[in-house]
Chains A and B, each alone.
Chain A
Amino acid sequence: MPRWPFDLKKQGNTCMTDTLDWPLSPWPRRDAAPLRWPDAARVAFWVAPNIEFYELVPPSNPVRAAWPRPTPDILNVSARDYGNRVGVWRCLEVFDAHGIRGSVSLNSAMCRHFPEVVAEFTRRDWELFCHGDYNTRYLFGRSRDEEKTLIADACAEIAAFSGRPVRGMLAPALTYTANTFDIMAELGLSYTLDLFDRDVPYRLSSRYGDLVSVPYQIELNDFHALTAQGMSGMLYLDKFRRHFDRLYAEGEHAGRVVGLPLHPYIIGLPQYIWVLDAMLAHVRQHDAVWITTADQIADCFKAQTGEAA
């Protein structure tokens, strides 16, 4: 496998010798054995609310500024705070109404700053996976040791809060270094949610041990649809239904995954919360759906595909 020495100094990385094995996994084959979900489900469906803490004045990062405006960036900081004050409570009501239990993409700092928010999910027996410590503290530009300490500490804080080990990770603000996936493997994580190229789980290269990719599905992420792409709620709902229906049809022959990444500060707004309700209602209208969590998807995949090569 070729090793690509990217110009990491230009990216702010302090370690000139870091390299990234790219791509991170073997090329997929169409003739691979189809996945089978429990009870002959066609689709494994899981929900990933991002429960995040955004700092008003975060430590500076050499690669990317946290906020586009000078301090205090009241507009952008307060917009995200809407999630913990208002949005998450509406989301919980919708999840409860549809009997949905999923996996929380958790900034570990929330365990300290707003534990009452995190407790609502542990009370409902949701899985908690690591999403860094703060969403304003990126992995960009960190030394290997710094990054490993950040991730390890975040996982430890979440595990201490929930009483369960953390089994997976989504990089904070989707920021990475050349070392991120090595570190995930070294820390014994079971899965990563950072790879957006497939609708099924897959193993990373043998360099990364037993680490598998579980589909997080950036296509359905409310930030990308509603904020980055500026879609209306109606179009986002239509997109979700089409995406789900297609994978449900494909799932007749080989199990598929539909992941729904959410940000309560977006989907919880008055003009969007009804969309979440409609999306989950659509899922519940289908019989052959396994409502599950990211760690269960990873476990089911590993059980079917055996040990890492």
Chain B
Amino acid sequence: MNRILHPGLAGYDHDIFSFRKATEPRGWSLPEDARIGICLTIVLQHFPISEKPAYPVPGMLARPWPDIGSATQRRVGLHEGLWRMLDALEARGGLPVNFVIEADALPMLDELRPQITAPQNCIFAGGRNAALLHGPHLAEAEEAAVIAGVATELSDFAGRPVTGWRSPSNAQSPATLRLLAEAGFTACGDFNNDDRAYPLHAAGHALWSVPMPHTVSDLHNIEVSRQSAAHYFEAFSAGAGWLAASQEPGPVIIPIVLHPWITGTPHRIGAFEAALDSLMARGDTRFVTAADLVAGEMAATSTARDM
């Protein structure tokens, strides 16, 4: 595990990442110098009916076995809910998004593979399934095997190396970051503390944190907090308005994390479509992927080093 530091020292009480303020200049820009980058992540999950997470997490199958009702409600996220969201993105010129995919969902996605793995999209490994959480309950060898297996299956599905990871429910063990780095992953979407990409300290390996926070997700805001889809999505448009005019150095990134079993339902998809149209109509906004954010930060780091 990364070191826990003495509480008397300045900075963090750990060495997982370093402090950075949102007021610091980015050192890079989006195409056409767009002010705002929308980093949209869609999480595709598999909920095994006979497994429970090691501890309670949002969205889990929580009723007694067999929780067929909840399980089938979640499966909407791999067919109709997902179809609606893919159609919405395609109808708007094929907006680039991140797909976080749990490996056990892959067999259900074969028909949609061309759309999901389209070149503009960024594919992230989402772990094994929604019930297999990473944590101290996993022996390190077992966790390493999970990571390795998922990496292979996702890369085969994508037809290209998959080097990004977002753990089921953002859960980690003390060894997760090191194991990810040792397995060749270069980006991790588990941290909820920044809208920008930033470097993580992972046993000397290069590993970037990318913004896929639970705090901005439909899972937290709609499923758990019971907000309406209209209010949830309209809030991002309102936020874009404030951020566009703010003093915060650009590009300002707005991450949005969605689950098709939530947003893809018939009563919510319209709000999602309206949000896409509202954000696109602004004229100062561009949809970006996690890979774009890392590339930008790397370019800025390289420029700074060359100065």
Name A's B-contacting residues (CB within 8 A): 55-57, 68-72, 74-75, 78-82, 84-86, 89-90, 93, 109, 112-116, 134, 226-227, 229-235, 269-275, 277
Q: Using A74-B190, A90-B246, A271-B238 as known contacts, list a sample of 11 further A-B pairs with CB atoms less than 8 Å apart, ordered by residue number in A.
A: A57-B14, A72-B174, A74-B172, A79-B192, A79-B215, A82-B192, A82-B215, A93-B246, A270-B255, A271-B236, A277-B242
Q: Are B4 and A113 in touch, CB under 8 angstroms?
A: no
Closest 5 CB pairs between A and B?
A: A230-B225, A232-B231, A271-B235, A81-B193, A270-B239
> Contact: A114 with B216, CB < 8 Å?
no
B194 part of interface (Cβ distance < 8 Å): yes
CB distance from A294 to the nearest CB of B (A): 27
Chain A residues, CB < 8 A from B21? 85, 89, 116
B302 at interface by CB-CB < 8 Å: no
Say if the beta carbon of B169 comes within 8 Å of chain A: yes
Q: Is the CB of B238 within 8 A of A74?
A: no
Taken together as a complex, chains A and B put the C-alpha atoms of A274 and B172 apart, in Å, by: 32
Chain A positions within 8 Å of B226 at CB level: 230
A56 cross-chain contacts in B, Cβ below 8 A: 4, 12-14, 16
Known: A71-B136, A89-B248. A114 touches B193 (CB 8 A): no
CB pair B13 A55 closer than 8 Å: yes
21 example contacts (A-B, Cβ-Cβ < 8 A) are as follows A55-B13, A68-B56, A70-B55, A74-B172, A75-B214, A78-B213, A79-B213, A81-B193, A82-B192, A89-B21, A90-B22, A93-B246, A113-B12, A230-B225, A230-B226, A232-B232, A232-B235, A233-B231, A234-B231, A269-B239, A274-B238
* Most central of A55, A109, A270, A273 by chain B CB within 10 Å: A270
How many Å lie between the Cα of A275 and that of B243 in the bound state?
Answer: 12
A16 to chain B, nearest CB (A): 31
Determine whether B292 belongs to the interface, using a CB cutoff of 8 Å to chain A: no
**Cα separation A74 to B224 with both chains bound (whole Å):** 19
Q: Measured between C-beta atoms, what is the minimum distance from A267 to chain B in Å? A: 11
Nearest B residue to A82 via CB reads: B193
B19 within 8 A of A: yes
Contact: B235 with A234, CB < 8 Å?
yes
Q: How large is the interface on B (under 10, 10 to 19, 20 to 34, 35 or more residues)?
A: 35 or more
Cross-chain pair count, CB within 8 angstroms: 145
Q: Which of B44-65 contact A (CB under 8 A)?
A: 54-56
Among B4, B22, B56, B238, contact of A233 (Cβ-Cβ < 8 Å): B238
Question: A275 to chain B: which residues have CB within 8 Å?
Answer: 238
Contact A230 B172 (CB under 8 A): no
Q: Is B294 an interface residue (CB 8 A)?
A: no
With a 10 A CB-CB cut-off, give which of B9, B226, B232, B246 has the most chain A CB atoms: B246
Q: Please judge, given known A-B contacts A86-B194, A90-B246, A233-B231, whether A113 and B239 are in contact too, CB under 8 Å.
A: no
Q: Report the Cα distance A71→B55, complex, angstroms.
A: 12
- Contact, CB under 8 Å: A85 / B239: no
Chain A contacts for B169, CB-based, 8 A: 75
B293 to chain A, nearest CB (A): 14
- Choose from B12, B172, B193 the contact partner of A72 (Cβ within 8 Å): B172
State the Cβ distance, B225 to closest chain A Cβ, in Å. 3
- Determine how close the nearest CB of chain A comes to the CB of B201; give it in whole angstroms: 13
CB pair B228 A232 closer than 8 Å: yes
Measured between beta carbons, the chain A residues less than 8 angstroms from B22 are 85-86, 89-90
Q: How far is the CA of A275 from the CA of B169 in the complex (A)?
A: 28
List residues 221-271 of chain B with CB under 8 A from any CB of chain A. 221, 224-228, 231-232, 234-236, 238-243, 246-248, 254-255
Q: Does B163 contact A (CB under 8 A)?
A: no
Taking CB atoms, residues of chain A closer than 8 Å to B221 are 230, 232, 271
Given contacts A85-B193, A86-B195, contact A234 B234 (CB under 8 A): yes
Contacting residue for A70 out of B12, B135, B216, CB 8 A: B135
Looking at the assembled complex, report how far the CB atom of A238 sits from the nearest CB atom of chain B, in whole angstroms: 11
> Is B1 an interface position by the 8 A CB rule?
yes
Query: CA–CA, A78 to B246, complex, Å?
Result: 24
Q: Which residues of B contact A115 (CB under 8 A)?
A: 10
Closest to A116 in B: B21
Interface string of B168-209 (1 = CB under 8 A from A): 011111100000000000000011111100000000000000
Does B7 lie at the interface of the complex (its beta carbon under 8 Å from any beta carbon of A)? yes
